[in-house]
């Protein structure tokens, strides 16, 4: 039986690019002698994205669509995509054609050679701001230093995963998932495919600074305890320095007539140190907030509508996918 590939495409306000994306992906997938599904996850778009994808799904049985009740975020959208995928392998790809779909046949070839994960690693990023390239570069290298998990640098979520890998991924069920890290953590036979990241085909980035920060803090807190240890290291160093200074002051008071005049130095030390303590508290807060998310155990996302799924073939008994006919009847 022909193998099936699920392509997961997260969408947030992508009306400008979605038609082009659908056409280019379909073109690539049609060339393969394989069955496929294009699984669009509409992450609460406020523009015409949903109606466009709906139209594709009515016309093309390869298209499936999950529509979230609101914007849950890119990482959650791709997690939902893998939850609902039914292929022998799943490919995660951005909707804006920055990850060229033409790389998919090569990924599949590596998969057929026996690799379980084929991740696309960026050699070069075109058409992105200096700030984006620089911050991404620093982030991947910092994360690499901070963690023992081998998370490859300059690698986003554009990757292929064998069914056995994405089945394990589903079980992790983290509330603030950093998917690329989780896939590295899972292990299996992984390999890189080098590529040049293209410019966005149309539309604007959906990753403002706030979302970029959230993603990087998720990455670091999920894969490293180092920031928590910083308080003890810095604390030890500072008490050491304090002790030495105390000896100096004692010496001055007892054996010399230097008057210690200290208002400005006191203020500076006060500000520096209280700032430092607050930063450390904030770091601890990041971890506590994430523990809180885990404990509340809310569902990761809410699917408001879905299109193109076959209820008889649902992956999970608890989920019901309305068929096209049912959708029309409602």
In this structure, what token pair is assigned to residue 266?
A: 């006191």
CB of 93 to ligand UDP, least distance (A): 8
Binding segment toward ligand UDP, per CB under 6 A, in 80-88, 162-170, 171-179, 199-207: 199-207
Q: Is 43 in the site for ligand UDP (CB under 6 A)?
A: yes
According to the 3-state scheme, what is the secondary structure of 69-118? CCCCCHHHHHHHHHHHCCCCEEEECCCCCCCCHHHHHHHHHHHHCCCCEE
Q: For ligand UDP, which is the closer residue by CB, 209 or 268?
A: 209
- List 25, 95, 165, 217, residue binding ligand UDP (CB under 6 A): 95
CB of 101 to Mg ion, least distance (A): 14
Q: Is 119 in the site for ligand UDP (CB under 6 A)?
A: no
Residue 10 touches which member of ligand UDP, Mg ion, none, C-beta under 5-8 Å by kind: ligand UDP
What residues have CB less than 8 Å from 86, skipping those under 6 apart?
4, 6, 37, 313, 315
Task: Determine contact, residues 53/18, Cβ cutoff 8 Å.
Answer: yes
- List 31, 51, 112, 207, residue binding ligand UDP (CB under 6 A): 207
Closest CA to 175 of 284, 43, 79: 79
CA distance 71 to 73: 6
Q: Is 159 in the site for ligand UDP (CB under 6 A)?
A: no
Q: For ligand UDP, which is the closer residue by CB, 156 or 308?
A: 156
CA distance 252 to 257: 7
Q: For Mg ion, which is the closer residue by CB, 15 or 162?
A: 15
CB of 214 to ligand UDP, least distance (A): 10
Radius of gyration of the chain from Cα atoms? 25
Q: Name the site residues for ligand UDP (rule: CB under 6 A).
A: 10-12, 14, 43, 71, 73-74, 77, 94-96, 98, 205-207
């Amino acid at each position: 039986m022909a193998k099936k590939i699920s392509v997961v495409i997260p969408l947030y306000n992508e009306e400008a690019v979605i038609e082009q994306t659908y056409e280019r992906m379909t073109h690539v997938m049609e060339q393969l002698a394989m069955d496929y599904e294009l699984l669009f996850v509409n992450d609460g778009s406020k523009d015409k994205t949903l109606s466009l994808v709906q139209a594709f799904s009515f016309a093309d049985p390869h298209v499936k669509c999950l529509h979230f009740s609101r914007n849950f975020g890119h990482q959650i959208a791709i997690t939902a995509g893998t939850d609902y995928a039914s292929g022998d392998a799943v490919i995660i790809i951005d909707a804006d054609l920055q990850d060229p779909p033409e790389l998919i046949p090569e990924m599949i070839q590596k998969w057929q050679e026996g690799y379980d994960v084929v991740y696309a690693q960026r050699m070069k990023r075109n058409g992105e701001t200096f700030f984006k390239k620089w911050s991404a570069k620093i982030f991947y290298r910092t994360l690499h230093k901070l963690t023992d998990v081998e998370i490859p640098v300059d690698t986003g979520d554009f990757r292929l995963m064998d069914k056995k890998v994405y089945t394990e991924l589903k079980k992790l069920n983290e509330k603030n998932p950093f998917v690329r890290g989780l896939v590295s953590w899972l292990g299996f036979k992984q390999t890189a495919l080098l590529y040049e990241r293209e410019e966005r085909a149309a539309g604007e980035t959906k990753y403002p600074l706030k979302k970029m920060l959230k993603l990087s803090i998720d990455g670091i807190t999920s894969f490293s305890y180092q920031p928590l240890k910083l308080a003890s290291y810095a604390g030890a160093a500072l008490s050491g320095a304090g002790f030495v200074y105390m000896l100096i002051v004692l010496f001055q008071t007892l054996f010399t007539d230097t008057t210690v005049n200290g208002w400005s130095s006191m203020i500076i030390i006060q500000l520096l140190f209280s700032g430092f303590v607050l930063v450390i508290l904030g770091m601890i807060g990041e971890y506590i907030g994430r523990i809180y998310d885990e404990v509340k155990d809310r569902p990761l996302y809410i699917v408001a509508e879905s299109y193109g799924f076959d209820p008889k073939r649902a992956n999970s008994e608890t989920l019901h996918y309305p068929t096209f006919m049912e959708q029309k009847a409602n």
